Chains A and B, each alone.
Chain A
Amino acid sequence: MVRKTTPPQDLIRGIWKENPVLVQMLGLCPALAVTNTVKNALAMSAATFFVICCSSVLVSSCKSFIPKEVRISSYILVIATFVTLADMMLQAYAPVQHKELGAFIALIVVNCMILGRQEAFSARNTVFRSLLDAVGTGIGFTIALIMMGGFREILGTGSFLDIPLFGPGFEPWVVMVLPAGGFLTLGFILLAMGYAEQRRKAGESA
């Protein structure tokens, strides 16, 4: 069954309404682990964006050759190949970021968001629409990561992209750049979204 959506909807859906991190709770591991600074969040999003777009294009163009029984394993292989590429490229062009992110680049393979898009969308749609879907999901992932990275860097170190924002009197909230800060930031973002949703519903029924 092909869902009836227009190409623009494929693109926009992943960005906000079905945001992979904030709504579907997929790909939480990188979203929490590498968002202690905006720079790391950007590098991670770029790598993930590359992997999801390439895998979606390849999977959707090969969908008629892949036997149904081994499709998941084939998707994982496709993803693993592009992750290896991304890993090498980052090592060559941005060695500092590569060192900071470390093993988490390799862990893009097990990002359930990417596998989820292949299984749910690319496996049964045209190349063009799969690309749109992947771009949308990638942008949604980027937005979520930058949001978290921004909150954590601004509060945790008092700067944004290494530019100091507050005067010398600012006492950084060290906890925000520590692992606990990741959980708390995402928790509060979700609470705020829940609150907004509740307000919207109340407004509709009133």
Chain B
Amino acid sequence: MSDQTLFSIFFSAMIVNNFTLAMFLGLCPFMGVSARVETALRMGLANIFVLVLTSLSAWVLNTYILGEAPYLRIISFIIVVASLVQIVEMVVKKIAPVLFRQLGIFLPLMTTNCAIFGLAIFQTNRGYDFLQGIVFAIGAGLGLTLALVLMASIRESSELSDIPAIAKGTGLTLIIAGSLSLAFMGFAGVL
């Protein structure tokens, strides 16, 4: 069991050890869908939802099923994540078709989003209990959303600026990400 307080878990996951900018998890959506603020925000919110569900199921798996066979952890987690994303996709499609259309391809792509899988692994390694896991998931999700929205706003406002031809595309995005990451480093001493 981890004896961290809930607030420190939340703050650490969201700001100090931001999933995207300090731990490099979930970089694919970070590079791919950060061109518009609106899409970035929606992607972030969808991520929070799936992260919380993942945290729940990873906790159940760890507590009740995998106690006997910890070496099956990687395999069972990836199956759970994959089926979870599939189920969420079907439910959203049935209950909220409008939202489903807005999310589009991002929903199925979450299976290979390392943030989701990483959350399950980190949560297990650090021995979080049920409540700590949920708080960790919400913090991580908000952190992802924050990073995505920040990135998208910078990219939107730099769209019309005159940048050298070689820097267009991923090169520039990475350098912006580097600067954002530097900014987040300022929080390193807080906790």
Binding site for B on A (CB under 8 A): 25, 28-29, 32-33, 73, 76-77, 80-81, 83-84, 87-88, 102-103, 106-107, 109-112, 115, 175, 178-184, 186-188, 190-191, 194-195, 197-198
Contact = CB atoms under 8 A, between A and B. Distances in A.
B117 to A, nearest CB: 5
Nearest to B173: A187
B117 A179 contact: no
A187 B74 contact: no
Interface residues of B, number: 42
B182 A180 contact: yes
Interface string B169-191: 11111110111011001000000
Interface of B: 21-28, 31, 71-75, 78-79, 82, 111-114, 117-118, 121-122, 125, 165-167, 169-175, 177-179, 181-182, 185
Determine chain B's interface SS by DSSP, over half rule: helix
Contact of A103 (B122, B170, B179, B182): B122
A7 to B, nearest CB: 29
Contact of B166 (A180, A184, A194): A194
Determine chain A's interface SS by DSSP, over half rule: helix
B78 A107 contact: no
Contacts of B167: 191, 194
B28 A112 contact: yes
Contacts of B82: 73, 76
Given A25-B31, A28-B28, A110 B171 contact: no
A186 B30 CA distance: 15
Given A178-B185, A184-B174, A190-B170, A32 B24 contact: yes
Given A102-B125, A179-B181, A180-B182, A194 B24 contact: no
A195 B22 contact: no
B117 A110 contact: yes
A112 B75 contact: no
Contacts of B71: 84, 88
B127 to A, nearest CB: 13
B117 A109 contact: yes
